Amino acid sequence: AEHDEFVYHESLVHPALFWSALLSGTASSSPSSSPSSSLRHPPGTAPKSVFIGGGGELATAREVLRHSTISRLVMVDIDPQVIDVCKRFLPEWGGQAVLDHPKFQLVVGDAHKYLMETKETFDVIIMDISDPIEAGPGIALYTQEFYRRAKELLSKPNGVFVTQAGSADFVPHPHAFPEVGRENGDGDASRETTCFAPIMNTLATVFDHAVPYSCPVASFGEDWGFVMAFDGG
């Protein structure tokens, strides 16, 4: 909803970008350097390049572009109608100002295909996509194979991957349990399951660190989860 969309989008974007900036200053000097030598990756030089998968409402891009270090932002979303509707009716979410930004590049297409084929690397990869519902459009963006590919495309040593990760309520909603839906005669509508822990566990098999976090989003009626993943640190 308009009154609290910032909670979701700020939570998705800023921890990852600030962590990338921190990692850019943690690479130690070479062994032959004196203790007073400057770091190979001074703080504040990153992040410069960011990729967004999904994000058609443009608010994720809006938040990324608040960071002065950004020199290139690529967003790949598969649905041009979502982008157009949000541009027209939700301009405060980013709208034309984002689309016209000189650092922003919009690609209408499949984010999975784009990342599998690109040779470009990014300091931060942000996945603002639908939940991994079985047979849904976003399922391929939550696999170990995809996370390994994303890791290959992250800059070193400051690369950070972050994804939305669904409901993070301590007590899952009834729809998280398929057997409840069957008892109630809801059929396929009940097949949604919680994905917060599985996403974190899958990322933990690929990256050195997989950090789960959450925030309450009033219009969702529940806490919402995110997972940030990175190496080193």
- In eight-state DSSP terms, residue 144 is H
In terms of Cα–Cα distance, which of 75, 6, 8 is closest to 213?
Answer: 8
- Beta strand pairing call for 49-54 and 72-77: parallel
Distance CA 94, CA 173 (A): 32
Q: Are 193 and 131 in contact (CB under 8 A)?
A: no
Burial class for 185, CB neighbours closer than 10 Å (0-12, 13-18, 19+): exposed
Q: What burial letters (b/e) apply to 71-97, b meaning 16+ CB within 10 Å?
A: eebbbbbbeeeebeebbeeeeebbbee
Distance CA 71, CA 120 (A): 14
The residues pairing with 127 across neighbouring beta strands, listed in sequence order, are 53, 163
- Sheet of 104-108, strands arranged across: 104-108, 72-77, 49-54, 124-128, 160-167, 222-230, 209-217
Q: Which residues are catalytic?
A: 128
